[in-house]
Structure 1
């Protein structure tokens, strides 16, 4: 089997934030003739691939994507966006509160104006909202949910693992209720029963009930409660393959034109 190659972009600076961060890109298949693939942008990029950069172990998501590709299933390009360390909470929170300034909108502005175009220019990825997803876990899961409803013109799907819906007095519920259902919307939501005495799972179930009441069904919303699930990378790593398969199973029905083969990027094994 060919080695896993992860392209390293950056380092980047987000206007108004301190420090620099890298962006890592993984392609499920290489070659100039590859069809444009759907693409999944992920918060907390340090946790997406290997164990070393992560605080408590990586998701090894590139291995799950490679397995999808080897089975002939639709496999997304992965784009892991590093968080800024001490500023992570402010970066990933859509609302002020709980020790955060709530500057996710600033991060989304940078993501959609700089990172999404850079990835589309260098890699063979889809350019439509239906083929472009955003994802994360915990605060990253909350950020992904908000990002989808805030910028559905760019981000047409979201992977929300153990989302921190409790944050800022659960303001995310009012926010989503005030937004129209996006024209392209595909959502994966999960949570574990062992997270915070079950409150994370109860909040996730409340979110799913609201979404189903607005017309979401089995085709565009998957809810995976995990009775054994805890709040950590090992649980998210275990559930990730099923999440990817659901989010991108329908992506093969449309194949808009994409960009060419990757150029001008470093490679990190």
Structure 2
């Protein structure tokens, strides 16, 4: 079996944010004539792949993607966007509160205007919102949920692991309630019963109940409560394969539809 190859883009500077960060890209297949793949952009890129760049271990998400591909299932291209260290809370907070300055909209503007086009130019990924997802855990899970409702024209699905719905006095609930359901929306939400005395799971269940009242069903919303789940990379790594399989299941029926176009050469770094 071929080695996992992760492409390195950057380093990038984000207008208005300090420092630089890299973007890591993993392709499930190197087939030159393969149909364009769906693509999953992920916050906290240091945690997405290997253990070394992560503070507490990586998700090894590339291995889950390779397993899907080897089984003949639709697997996404992964794009891990590094967080800015001390800037992380500010760039992932949708609104001010609890130490975050609420600059996620600025971060999303950069993502949509620079990183999404760069990935679409260099790699064989789909160019439609239905084939483009955003994901993360903890504050990254909150950011992914907000990003999907804020920019459904670009990000048509979201993977929200243990989302920090408590942030800023749970303001995200009012925000989601005030937004229309994005066309073709697809959401994966999970949480562990061992997180913060069960409050993370209770918040996630409240979110899911609201979404179901808004018309979400089994085909476009998956909720995975984890009785043994802790707030840790280990728990997210364990749940990730099922999350990916659900989130991109619809793409399986579109393989022959020709959504998007493959173009651009792949540049390893």
- Which TM-score band applies after superposition, normalised by the shorter structure? over 0.9
Q: What is the rounded CA distance, in whole Å, between the counterparts of 1:262 and 1:146 in structure 2?
A: 32
Q: What is the rounded CA distance, in whole Å, between the counterparts of 1:239 and 1:120 in structure 2?
A: 28
Shift of 1:100: 1.0
TM-score by length of 1: 0.98
Residue correspondence of structure 1 range 1-269 to structure 2 within 5 A: 1-254=1-254, 255-263=258-266, 265-267=267-269
CA shift digits 1:93-114 (9 cap, x unpaired):
0010101110000000000000
Tell whether the 8 Å contact from 1:48 to 1:59 is kept in structure 2 after alignment: yes
Tell whether the 8 Å contact from 2:128 to 2:260 is kept in structure 1 after alignment: no
CA shift digits 1:236-268 (9 cap, x unpaired):
0000000000000111223313232533x333x
SS in 2 for 1:266: coil
TM-score by length of 2: 0.98
SS in 2 for 1:190: strand
SS in 1 for 2:34: coil
Runs of 4 or more consecutive aligned structure 1 residues displaced over 3 Å after TM superposition = none
Q: What is the rounded CA distance, in whole Å, between the counterparts of 1:11 and 1:198 in structure 2?
A: 39
Q: What is the rounded CA distance, in whole Å, between the counterparts of 2:240 and 2:264 in structure 1?
A: 27
SS in 1 for 2:87: helix
Q: List runs of 5+ in structure 1 lacking aligned partners.
A: none
Q: List runs of 5+ in structure 2 lacking aligned partners.
A: none
Shift of 1:159: 0.1
Tell whether the 8 Å contact from 1:32 to 1:261 is kept in structure 2 after alignment: no
SS in 1 for 2:140: helix
RMSD: 0.8
